[in-house]
Chain A
Amino acid sequence: MKLTLKVWRQKNATAKGQLVTYPIDGIDGDMSFLEMMDVLNNKLINEGESPVTFDHDCREGICGSCSMFINGEAHGPDRLVTTCQLHMRKFKDGDTITIEPFRAAGFPVIKDLMVDRSAFDRIQHAGGFISVNTSGNTQDANSIPIEKENADDAFAAATCIGCGACVASCKNSSAMLFVGAKVSQFALLPQGEVEATTRVLNMVKQMDEEGFGNCTNTGACEVECPKGISLENIARMNREYLAASLEG
């Protein structure tokens, strides 16, 4: 396959960036998108140019590192996959592919396609936990039965990989799907109830401080989410938030 790549190049956080065009040849349908980027980078290195910087690590769709905005979509045209699991068979010979970083005020560019998503960590520091120390004396794991449906829903929310596709896809750069998923996981489990009030208030406060926008129910986040995190999590967070505000 022969392709034309238009790749966002930006030397550092303060430099001005631009799309640079690279023709590329010899791409196989069995390659992952990142393996195609490896081919490009090896070519650039051999030609004495600097390779394209992008985040990647596990390359099996679970670490949440990879974060490319491909032809106007977070993680590209395929559904329920991260960029590393997107395969080149989804493209045709002669295609032009535009590759940009995830863009949002809360995700400043570090270099090329790499962005700083530490805002997500800071939201979790504000309340993404249950306050239980490691003692070896916690009660037996089966002492509180949890309805299977709630356990399954908590798990579905907890599968969020924190990649930020939801933010990148949202016209308001809202992080509510991400935060909603974390709030929901704990809200659905009895262990999370004790701190429910402070958790949602603190996490939402931090989310706002990080410069993420509001949710206007467009639903793009759910469509682009590689893990299929449901919009219901946003609704659940809103209910939790309202209840907590009334209580507070």
Chain B
Amino acid sequence: MALDSKIPQGPLADKWTNYKNEINLVNPANKRLIDVIVVGTGLAGGSAAATLAELGYNVKAFCFQDSPRRAHSIAAQGGINAAKNYQGDGDSTYRLFYDTVKGGDYRSRESNVYRLAEVSTNIIDQCVAQGVPFARDYGGLLDNRSFGGVLVSRTFYAKGQTGQQLLLGAYSAMNRQIGRGKIKMYNRHEMLDIVKVDGKARGIITRNLVTGEIERHSAHAVVLGTGGYGNVFYLSTNAMGSNVTAAWKAHKRGAYFANPCYTQIHPTCIPVSGDHQSKLTLMSESLRNDGRIWVPKKKEDAIAIREGKKKPTQLSEDERDYYLERRYPAFGNLVPRDVASRAAKERCDAGFGVNKTGEAVYLDFAAAIQRYGKEQAYVTHQDANDAALVKKLGQEVVRTKYGNLFQMYEKIVDQDPYNTPMMIYPAVHYTMGGLWVDYNLQTSVEGLYAIGEANFSDHGANRLGASALMQGLADGYFVLPYTIGDYLSHDIRTGPISTDSPEFEEAEQNVRSQVDALINNNGTKAVDYFHKKLGKIMWNKCGMSRNATDLQSAIDEIAALRDEFYKEVRVPGEQDEFNEELAKALRVADFLELGELFAKDALTRNESAGGHFREESVEEDGPQKGEAKRDDENFTFVSAWEYVGKPKDAILHKEELEFDNIELKQRSYK
């Protein structure tokens, strides 16, 4: 099947408006005759479910958590971007669009990104109307801060809990519709297959996680808002339950998987402390507004610190290497995430790491505490030369801005970041790749849509900070409700979809046989054994720096590990009870397939773009020496993979990317 991105004609700035004017609508009476399934209740799924129900469709929403409010969007910390230009610092729809395309290293689709920038302002209005308590200044107006890769302040926030507040907003909108009976909510349900009838997505098969019951659910269209697949690395900032299963099952039913190798490795996470580690914790990018990143200039100092013989606070300014400020004077500590992560790895690999494992750098707030403290002393007419007072006042300001993050750090690391710099290291955080979708957010399966992190469309090869929340809510509140209406307008006379068909029967049996095989496997090794092993392969060979030899061996190792999994995995307990090991086994089985496709995609893309860094593709000389080198001549396309059996045999379809409004340039933050 050829890829048709269905980008509307006309000038970039008019595409979305023209599109909305021309699509088919469904009248309110007919909407009542149409069912829509939404899987996942994070920002994308939750906002979509609520909006579709408000419009009048009958929505069935599913989440594996015990409540929609617990989807992992809840953990997003720093903020949400919108081109409001409240700060009067020159922001505009075009600038947000431009920053996002550039930040994504020119590997995203112009039309989708422009639409995202366009609706960004509506999101903030909508959320405020819902009662989302964003941070405000003393005049009562909304406050903003800066994030990486941009030169304006366009990020709206609610302390370090922005994701939580936005998700509770979407959840409250859902609650209103659940109360009206327009959304039927299925908590603790996992989607395990897509059902296609006459080539169209018409339902799903789920497993009730409490009773183990395998259920059939039908609808006129299916929407996946099921998030990313960072947990293929085992250790990531994702929640323990975050998984690729829904997207992967869709892939196996014909949805192309796009750019799986585009992974975001976030520069500021709490370093790994030992083998027992089950997950990693992010320290919001917003901290880079005020924190300065450094390692010791001299290797002896780094060694002394690692051995506990020296403290970071004992090193003078001259003995510190603020390597981001040194290498990237224009953006300094606020370079994009991929750049900051690689720079940290470079310093640690060179022997300047500052914790026991040598895999940590400092994020230091001493300068910010001084700066804020002095300002407060002036404002309150106190002595700005009193060092103790200034420190105290400065710490108070930092506490109001980042208090919960500092507290989280202290609880985990057992050190006080107000008095000693934080230690951070990059960790897997977000996946830009995902199901391929056209302008309508429809996958290559008719009637099957993917929104939020589950699709690939807006962030190219690298996502800018505070843009995931923006995309999730844009897709769910403002884009999908229009585009899906155009599709559903053809279904007003279809009538209810029966679950009593050979297609549902086949899909249900498919799920049952997989569950039975795992439960009766009688192997000797727990699921975690395989997941950890997969994670090690991914991190070592498909992580921050990749090369052809390693990627080829990753493909082989993952295939071998998958064989071992099916021979050796032990799933205790029964099918018909709450059985977390079974749920984990079903998820890891899919990660073991995705990992192989991931490595194949990374091998195929022999260029460095955003989060995908190929050691073979580096600038050899000039001012950009050592920086990632894109290959626009050969790789200005989206890789969309078609499933044909083994992941390594997947067929590559290319969507050529056309840039009519932005000139492709070396991405310089110097």
- Taken together as a complex, chains A and B put the C-alpha atoms of A136 and B239 apart, in Å, by 31
Binary CB contact string for chain A from 39 to 73 against chain B (1 if under 8 A, 0 otherwise): 10010011011110101111111111100000000
Query: Which of the segments B91-99, B175-183, B359-367 contacts the partner chain?
Result: B175-183
Provide the B457-482 mask, 1 if CB < 8 A to any CB of A, else 0.
00000000000000000000110010
A57/B65 contact (C-beta < 8 A), A81-B411, A151-B136 known: yes
| B408 near A85: Cβ-Cβ < 8 Å | yes
Cβ–Cβ contact B75 & A146, under 8 A: no
- Known A34-B278, A51-B572, A162-B67: A121·B125 in contact at CB below 8 Å: no
A142 touches which one: B50, B142, B168, B577 (CB < 8 A)? B142
* B278 and A35 form a contact (CB under 8 A): yes
CB neighbors of A among B105-148 (8 A)? 119, 122, 124-131, 133-142
For residue B72, CB closer than 8 A to chain A, the reply is yes
B residues within 8 A CB of A59? 239-240, 278-279, 281
Contacting residues of chain B (545-593) with chain A, CB-CB under 8 angstroms: 570, 572-573, 577-578, 580-581
Distance from B484 Cβ to chain A, minimum over Cβ atoms (Å): 14
Give complex CA distance A87, B67 in Å. 26
Say yes or no: A192-B131 contact (C-beta < 8 A), given A134-B47, A134-B51: yes
Assess whether A46 is in contact with B74, with CB atoms less than 8 Å apart: no
Is there a chain B Cβ closer than 8 Å to A147's Cβ? Answer: yes
Contacts of A147 in B (CB 8 A): 140
The answer to whether A131 has its CB under 8 Å from any CB of chain B is: yes
Instruction: Confirm or deny: A38 has a beta carbon within 8 angstroms of a beta carbon on chain B.
Output: yes
Instruction: From B269-277, B331-339, B370-378, B510-518, give the one contacting chain A.
Output: B269-277
**Bound-complex Cα distance A6 to B414 (A):** 27
In Å, the complex CA distance between A87 and B408 comes to 12
By a CB distance below 8 angstroms, the chain A residues around B239 are 57-59, 63
The DSSP consensus for interface residues of chain A is loop
A141 touching B125 by the CB < 8 A rule? yes
Kindly provide the distance from the CB of A22 to the nearest chain B CB, expressed in whole angstroms.
16
Cross-chain contact of A114 among B127, B140, B278, B578 (Cβ < 8 A)? B578
Given contact pairs A50-B572, A121-B67, A159 touches B125 in the complex (Cβ within 8 A): no
Residues of A within 8 A of B137 (CB): 148
One of A24-32, A172-180, A215-223 contacting the partner: A24-32
**Inter-chain contacts of B39 with A (CB < 8 A):** none
- Contact present for A85 and B411 (CB under 8 Å): yes
- CB of A243 within 8 Å of the partner chain: no
Contact A158 B481 (CB under 8 A): no
In contact, B578 and A62 (Cβ under 8 angstroms): no
- In the complex, the chain A residue whose C-beta lies closest to that of B411 is A85
Residues on B with beta carbons closer than 8 Å to the beta carbon of A32: 278, 412
B142 and A57: CB pair below 8 A?
no
Binds B, one of A96-104, A183-191, A231-239: A183-191
Closest to B132 in A: A158
Is residue A111 within 8 Å, beta carbon to beta carbon, of the partner chain?
A: yes
CB under 8 Å from chain A, chain B span 134-174: 134-142, 158-159, 161, 163-165, 168, 171-173
Q: Does B84 contact A (CB under 8 A)?
A: yes
Q: Which residues in B have their C-beta under 8 angstroms from that of A117?
A: 66-67
Are B133 and A136 closer than 8 Å at their CB atoms? no
- List of A residues within 8 angstroms of B615 by Cβ: none
How many B residues, CB 8 Å from partner? 81
> How far is it, in angstroms, between the C-alpha of A59 and the C-alpha of B238 when the chains are bound?
9
In the assembled complex, the Cα of A60 lies from the Cα of B321 at a distance in Å of 31
Q: How far is the CA of A147 from the CA of B141 in the complex (A)?
A: 8
Question: Which one, A28, A132, A155, A189, contacts B159 given CB within 8 A?
Answer: A155
With A51-B581, A155-B158, A155-B159 known to touch, is A89 a contact of B414 (CB < 8 Å)? yes
Residues on the A chain within 8 Å of B75, using CB = 58, 60, 62-63
Interface digits, B288-299 against A, CB 8 Å rule (1 contact, 0 not)?
000000000000
Select one of B74, B84, B240, B274 contacting A141, CB under 8 A: B84
B5 within 8 A of A: no
**Which chain A residues border B577 with CB–CB below 8 Å?**
11-12, 111
List residues of chain A with CB within 8 A of the CB of B528.
38, 42
Task: State in angstroms the CA–CA spacing of A16 and B171 once bound together.
Answer: 35
| Bound Cα distance from A141 to B133, whole angstroms | 11
Residues in A whose Cβ lies below 8 Å from that of B65: 57, 63, 65
Interface check A207, CB cutoff 8 A:
no
Query: Hey, which chain B residues are within 8 Å of A154, CB to CB?
Result: 131, 133
Chain B: minimal CB distance from A185 (Å): 7
| A133 & B70 in contact (Cβ 8 Å cutoff) | no
| Inter-chain contact B139/A120, CB cutoff 8 Å | no
Q: Measured between alpha carbons, how far is A51 from B133 in the docked complex, in Å?
A: 41
Residues B133 and A151 in contact, CB atoms below 8 Å apart: yes
Complexed CA–CA distance, A2 and B84 (Å): 56
The listed residue (B122, B140, B161, B176) touching A146 by CB distance below 8 A is B140
Which residues of the partner chain A approach B119 to less than 8 Å between Cβ atoms?
Answer: 136
The residue among B136, B163, B241 with the most chain A CB atoms within 10 A of its own CB is: B136
Q: Is the CB of B526 within 8 A of A132?
A: no
Other-chain residue from A50, A116, A118 in contact with B573 (beta carbon distance below 8 A): A50
User: Does B407 sit at the interface, judged by CB under 8 A?
Assistant: yes
Write the nearest CB–CB distance from B114 to chain A, whole angstroms. Answer: 16
Alpha-carbon distance A125/B185, docked complex (angstroms): 11
Q: Tell whether, in the assembled complex, residue B70 and residue A31 are in contact, meaning their CB atoms are under 8 Å apart.
A: no
**Which chain B residue lies CB-closest to A125?**
B179
Q: Tell me if B408 and A138 are in contact (CB < 8 A).
A: no
Contact between A142 and B411, CB atoms less than 8 A apart: no
CA distance in complex: A80, B84 (Å): 35
Q: Does A105 count as interface, using CB distance less than 8 angstroms?
A: no
> Closest residue of chain B to A46, judged by CB?
B526
Are A151 and B175 also in contact (CB < 8 A) when A30-B274, A32-B278, A121-B67 are? Answer: no
- How far is B164's CA from A162's CA once the two chains are assembled, in angstroms? 11
Top 4 A-B residue pairs of the complex, sorted by shortest distance between their CB atoms? A145-B140, A129-B172, A155-B133, A125-B179
Known: A141-B125, A159-B161. 7 other contacts (CB 8 A): A35-B277, A38-B276, A45-B570, A60-B281, A136-B119, A148-B137, A155-B133
21 contacts between A and B (CB under 8 A): A32-B412, A38-B528, A57-B72, A57-B241, A58-B75, A61-B411, A62-B163, A63-B70, A87-B414, A117-B67, A133-B54, A138-B128, A139-B129, A141-B84, A141-B128, A142-B84, A146-B140, A152-B136, A155-B133, A189-B133, A191-B128
